[in-house]
Structure 1
Amino acid sequence: MSQENVWRTYSPSAMEELEKVNREYKLCLDEGKTERECIDASVERLVKKGYKSLEAVKEAKQPLKSGDKVYAVCMNKAIAAFHIGKQPLSEGMNILGAHIDSPRIDIKQNPLYENDELAYLDTHYYGGIKKYQWVTIPLALHGVIAKKDGSVVKVNIGEKEDDPVFVITDLLVHLAAKQLEKKANEVIEGEKLDLLFGSRPIEKDETLDKEEKDTVKANVMRLLKEYYDMEEADFASAELEIVPAGKARDCGIDRSMVLAYGQDDRVCSFTSLFAILDVEDVDKTACCILVDKEEIGSVGATGMHSRFFENVLAELIALEGSESELKLRRALANSRMLSSDVSAAYDPMFGEAFEKRSSAFFGKGLVFNKFTGSRGKGGSNDANAEYLAKLRKVMDDAQVAYQYAELGKVDVGGGGTIAYIMANYGMEVIDSGVAVLSMHAPWEITSKADVYEAYKGYKAFLTAK
């Protein structure tokens, strides 16, 4: 069963809307290169659309009613937004769930050191990466520095035109004979992913300790003090992430694709956000939840395994005027969810890793993965056939282009999402998302057509009865 390339079906008005969605999508990618930045971008757009924080709604002490819009944030790294429907929450919700963390390189808590008059930041990579892809490319530093006085300073270096950028060095090819004999996962070791941070020694003056040896490090700290009023000890309470420097760009001579960092899974996160922002009248409550930590197992207070979502829903049921543990359980069990996560796009350059009949292709729309997991479906959700049939009708009625796929050949590998976690509540869940080329690389590629169809599909799902 072959899906037509959707580019052939678009009218001029559809093409205009497609480009509008993708322009906003690229802007969000530029604004949101970390979890915290994604939350800031999401809250800004939700508030503009009339959403109120859960804290404000609780303070007002007014019961929830159909049409109300509420959001809640967890530690600035996860968010849940609700457009209250006509039915009570206990009848269930239509939920879009995606993750806003992406593979990257993190700064350790005691990172700054000098080695032979070069200053470095010690690092620890986050999520599944090919380490060799991160050397010799321009890198930016994003994050926050939390200080003992309670203040939090935002850091963003490397994105402006006149900003400095950073780099992780590699061995020159002339001396790399032994290095090139290594396996790909050993060519660059994790402890050699340290960020080159400076090379200029501090100028000698009366404030410089005569015994000071690490003069380049001292100069780095002088600059950090000047820019951020930062002491070296403040690294202990900083969250600093190394990401590729640069903006999301159109890709291809025909401008049909998007090249950007972090499209796994922000292509699904931002299209899910766009969908809930644009729904107007819903029967079931529409929900969009964007979470952290999926790339490392959905753990921690801001990951899907936490009770954040469950706790927020309990608060909403109480605001409905019917606080009840049983109603909370019913609301979860009666809900339907799209676990909005990316799928591997078929790459003819590496066709041997794919089973072509069960692959996702660029330009063929939203991807449904009935099951994920690895090899023998290990760790998979595996959605019910009846639920998939309902979704087929929803998508067909809304004229959304969609396709079905697996993540490569059965014995080659695999992957997982947040789907199985929400399925633990007894709700219907299936993975659906956008096909991505070069997934988990510093720069990933998506089709603009698939981004548009994902937005359309997510919006249709939220309004389904």
Structure 2
Amino acid sequence: MLDAADGLIDYLNASPSPFHACESSARMLRDAGFVQLAERDEWPVETGRWFIIRGGSLVAWSTEHSDGPATGFRVVGAHTDSPNFRIKPRPDRSSLGWQQLGVEPYGGLITNSWLDRDLGLSGRVTVRQDGQVQAKLLLVDEPLLRISRLAIHLDRSAAEGESLNKQFQLSPHWGLDSAPMFVEFLADRLDVAAADVLGWDVMTHDVQPAEYVGLAKEFIAGARMDNLATSYAGTRALLDAVGNAPATPTTQVLVLFDHEEIGSMTDRGAFSVLLPTVLERITATLGGSRGDLHRALAATVIASGDMAHATHPNYADRHEPEHRIAMNGGPVLKINTNGRYATDSVGQAAFVQACAQADVPVQSFVVRSDLPCGSTVGPMTSALTGAVTVDFGAPTLSMHSVRELVGSDDQRMYAAALAAFLSPA
């Protein structure tokens, strides 16, 4: 039961930023014989296992079970980003002898959950080195930063929950008068001159590692479950699926998008042409035309994965009463008649069949009719490709908190269902 759960814990702890998540998946893919390609190069025409990385996004695929250029795709999608604080371009601040950093909230984070946490830094820094401009990964998994809350003696209303000003009350402190300028800190960590640090995509992360919770290790608590639990399960599923020939020939694809938490409308988000372009190029490597691509898309099914709300035992009234979602109860179909999720009956059938093939239960989530519904990359991916799409997730509590909670056994069932989806019997 704990094999997939152990793997998720390792994946989470190695992936504090979207860029590191892509590297974590890339290591797993390379170990299974996948070869990284560059988007600017010609791609090999022989069948095989391939992947690309664009910033914090990754696309991997296998054409080993394809049957010509019009072969349909089976696609599992997820996203690599999570809500956090990101470092501003001119972050250095000083107040009353304290050295602080200017940060900007990224995505819909539960702000109060980040208070009084030990925070590290991670992400990507673009530098000039040896006459070339190159991007370097940064990982400082040490307690460098802290956003301290105000003592209750100075604000009695804090007992009922703080109302925080994002500009003035969320600047983390990281030293007193001796702290270096942020650019100097980056330069020292990356072994370049400060003048050669050209820009950064650097963010904060909680340095407390993911770990088991519960008397029988029923749960895993950790950061970035939304949505690295799906990124890990999808990567693991692709590795399992490539060894199993599907009953009907298919091209197996994994896509991990960045920027879902801020709307996906970037060069590597789900609203970009990243996935359609890769699918078109795969078709071309198989000798196909644009007409073959459209034939392939008509035979394609996409499973868009993002975490699902487990029914909270302390807030049962916030959930649809006829659609309770149990922790360790299996993967969750996400359905919304107003199109906030892409699931229709055809996509639902494909996912239900995959769960049956994997011998795991399946649950169904709908939001309470008088509450707004969140969304994910499924609808935009479906709109851009025209392919049948199903949205799904795994049960989660504390979504968008600095630490979230998932079920240990759900991770095994999650990966198994996705492997079956990629290689249908």
Output the TM-score relative to the length of structure 1. 0.83
1:131 aligns with 2:111: yes
Deviation at 1:243, TM superposition (A): 1.2
Number of equivalenced pairs? 416
- From 237, 244, 260, the equivalent of 2:199 is 237
- In 2, Cα distance between equivalents of 1:141 and 1:390: 41
- Tell me whether 273-282 or 379-388 shows the greater mean CA deviation: 379-388
Question: Match of 1:239, as an amino acid?
Answer: D
Contact 1:166 1:197 in 2 (8 A): yes
- From 8, 12, 16, the equivalent of 1:33 is 16
Deviation at 1:178, TM superposition (A): 5.6
Q: How does 1:15-26 map to 2 (within 5 A)?
A: 18-26=1-9
Contact 1:147 1:237 in 2 (8 A): yes
1:342 aligns with 2:303: no
Contact 2:51 2:60 in 1 (8 A): yes
Deviation at 1:191, TM superposition (A): 3.8
- In 1, Cα distance between equivalents of 2:382 and 2:70: 17
Q: Secondary structure, in 3 states, of the residue corresponding to 1:359?
A: coil
Q: Secondary structure, in 3 states, of the residue corresponding to 1:40?
A: helix
1:463 aligns with 2:423: yes
Partner of 2:229: 267
Deviation at 1:57, TM superposition (A): 12
- In 1, Cα distance between equivalents of 2:198 and 2:374: 33
- Tell me whether 261-270 or 390-399 shows the greater mean CA deviation: 390-399
Question: Match of 2:9, as an amino acid?
Answer: K
Deviation at 1:233, TM superposition (A): 6.5
**1:323-356 deviation line (CA, Å, top 9, x unaligned):** x222222222321011111100111111121123
Name stretches of at least 5 consecutive residues in structure 2 with no aligned partner: none
Describe the shift of the 1:114–1:318 C-alpha distance in structure 2 as closer, same or farther (beyond 3 A).
same
Deviation at 1:295, TM superposition (A): 0.5
More strand as a share of residues: 2
Describe the shift of the 1:431–1:112 C-alpha distance in structure 2 as closer, same or farther (beyond 3 A).
same
- In 2, Cα distance between equivalents of 1:120 and 1:439: 28
- Tell me whether 230-239 or 24-33 shows the greater mean CA deviation: 230-239
Q: Secondary structure, in 3 states, of the residue corresponding to 2:234?
A: helix
**1:204-261 deviation line (CA, Å, top 9, x unaligned):** xxxxxxxxxxxx556x776555444566667761111111112110111211111110
Contact 1:121 1:194 in 2 (8 A): yes
Q: How does 1:265-414 map to 2 (within 5 A)?
A: 265-279=227-241, 280=243, 281-282=245-246, 283-322=249-288, 324-371=289-336, 377-407=337-367, 409-414=368-373
- In 2, Cα distance between equivalents of 1:401 and 1:306: 34
Question: Match of 1:406, as an amino acid?
Answer: V
Q: Secondary structure, in 3 states, of the residue corresponding to 1:102?
A: coil
Partner of 2:79: 99
Question: Match of 1:343, as an amino acid?
Answer: A
Contact 2:343 2:389 in 1 (8 A): yes
Describe the shift of the 1:63–1:170 C-alpha distance in structure 2 as closer, same or farther (beyond 3 A).
same
- From 170, 193, 196, the equivalent of 2:173 is 196
Partner of 1:122: 102
Q: Secondary structure, in 3 states, of the residue corresponding to 1:327?
A: helix
Question: Match of 1:140, as an amino acid?
Answer: G
Q: Secondary structure, in 3 states, of the residue corresponding to 1:429?
A: strand
Partner of 1:451: 411
- In 2, Cα distance between equivalents of 1:394 and 1:386: 13
Partner of 1:9: none
Among all aligned residue pairs of Structure 1 and Structure 2, give the percentage whose two residues are the same amino acid.
22
1:252 aligns with 2:214: yes
- Tell me whether 452-461 or 279-288 shows the greater mean CA deviation: 279-288
Q: How does 1:37-56 map to 2 (within 5 A)?
A: 37-55=20-38
- In 2, Cα distance between equivalents of 1:257 and 1:341: 18
Deviation at 1:386, TM superposition (A): 3.4
1:156 aligns with 2:139: yes
Describe the shift of the 1:242–1:223 C-alpha distance in structure 2 as closer, same or farther (beyond 3 A).
closer
Contact 2:126 2:135 in 1 (8 A): yes
Name stretches of at least 5 consecutive residues in structure 1 with no aligned partner: 1-17, 202-215, 372-376
Q: Secondary structure, in 3 states, of the residue corresponding to 1:321?
A: coil
Describe the shift of the 1:58–1:236 C-alpha distance in structure 2 as closer, same or farther (beyond 3 A).
closer
- In 2, Cα distance between equivalents of 1:221 and 1:63: 44
**Larger-gyration structure (1/2):** 1
- Tell me whether 434-443 or 169-178 shows the greater mean CA deviation: 169-178
Question: Match of 1:94, as an amino acid?
Answer: R
- In 2, Cα distance between equivalents of 1:222 and 1:99: 32
Contact 1:145 1:234 in 2 (8 A): no
Contact 1:72 1:312 in 2 (8 A): no
- The CA RMSD measured in Å over matched residues stands at 2.4
- From 108, 116, 124, the equivalent of 2:88 is 108
Contact 1:110 1:235 in 2 (8 A): no
Describe the shift of the 1:200–1:253 C-alpha distance in structure 2 as closer, same or farther (beyond 3 A).
farther
Contact 1:51 1:69 in 2 (8 A): yes
